[in-house]
């Protein structure tokens, strides 16, 4: 439509109905979106996999349901993160084929196949308390650029559990490592593989963990060079970045 509007304007010039000076003036004031910017998002969606993402936190169930229903008209696949059961009930009333994922607290709608990347995204988690965040990462990565393999409960204090799975670790194209407390696991994993490692600090811990700050700082100071970091408990972000790499 915007393109149509611009074409109309150009047609008018070509037809002599609009002088160059007047056209210049109009063009200068056209909203940028009208010049094709809206397609940016369209392009991005195509490349990033056919899933619209909605952040549930801070919205009412009714708002989430309304946005999801509107998005579902165009996007075959949906992901609602940081959701709760009430949000799911509202969404399911509008979209009965929506699915509730209790541990990562996410809602999905899948009407098209999940996007696949070129390799496997490995999700490693240090402890069982890290699983909600790790599974948000796994679900996100699998929707947008999987498949995903997982390796749970292999914290650094029992390093042999990790070493026993070296082959699977090295088979991954990109690795997400979720850990709370001291957040040391990404450094150990990073030293064992050549793939890019996305460190995912969790708020698991107490006292001087300061809500995940200790893990976050540890990961930012990793002595392994192939490690980059996302926000505390940001499983979605870690999964998104991993998928964007795996789709390359």
Chain residues 148-187 in contact with a copy of itself, contact rule CB under 8 A: 155-161, 163-167, 173-174, 181-184, 187
Residue 74 in contact with a copy of itself, rule: CB under 8 A = no
**Nearest-approach distance from CB 97 to a copy of itself, in angstroms:** 25
Residues 95-134 that bind a copy of itself (CB under 8 A): 118-119, 126-129
Q: Report d(CA 210, CA 218) in Å as an integer.
A: 13
Count of residues that bind a copy of itself according to CB under 8 A? 110
**Nearest-approach distance from CB 169 to a copy of itself, in angstroms:** 11
Other CB atoms within a 10 A radius of the CB of residue 26 amount to 14
Q: Which of 66, 69, 171, 217 binds a copy of itself (CB under 8 A)?
A: 217
**Which residue blocks in 79-229 are alpha helix, DSSP H?**
85-94, 131-145, 159-163, 166-171, 185-192, 213-220
Q: Report d(CA 215, CA 186) in Å as an integer.
A: 10
Q: Which of 24, 70, 86, 112 binds a copy of itself (CB under 8 A)?
A: 24
Q: Is 129 exposed, middle or buried (0-12, 13-18, 19+ CB in 10 A)?
A: middle
**Nearest-approach distance from CB 71 to a copy of itself, in angstroms:** 14
């Amino acid at each position: 439509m915007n393109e149509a509007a611009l074409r109309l304007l150009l047609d008018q010039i070509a037809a002599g109905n609009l002088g160059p000076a007047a056209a210049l003036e109009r063009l200068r004031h056209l909203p940028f979106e009208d010049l094709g910017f809206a397609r940016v998002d369209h392009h991005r969606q195509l490349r990033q996999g056919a899933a619209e993402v909605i952040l549930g936190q801070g919205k009412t169930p009714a708002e989430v349901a309304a946005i999801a229903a509107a998005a579902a008209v165009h996007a075959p696949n949906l992901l609602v993160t940081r959701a709760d059961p009430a949000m799911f009930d509202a969404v399911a009333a509008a979209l009965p084929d929506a699915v509730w994922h209790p541990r990562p607290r996410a809602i999905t709608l899948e009407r098209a196949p999940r996007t696949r990347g070129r390799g496997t995204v490995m999700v490693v988690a240090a402890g069982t308390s890290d699983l909600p965040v790790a599974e948000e990462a796994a679900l996100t990565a699998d929707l947008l650029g999987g498949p995903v393999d997982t390796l749970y409960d292999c914290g650094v204090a029992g390093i042999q559990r990790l070493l026993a799975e070296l082959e699977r670790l090295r088979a991954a194209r990109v690795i997400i490592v979720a850990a709370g407390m001291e957040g040391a696991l990404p450094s150990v994993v990073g030293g064992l593989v050549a793939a890019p490692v996305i460190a995912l600090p969790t708020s698991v811990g107490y006292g001087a963990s300061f809500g995940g700050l200790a893990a976050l700082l540890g990961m930012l100071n990793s002595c392994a060079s192939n490690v980059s970091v996302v926000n505390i408990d940001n499983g979605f972000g870690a999964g998104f970045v991993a998928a964007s790499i795996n789709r390359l």
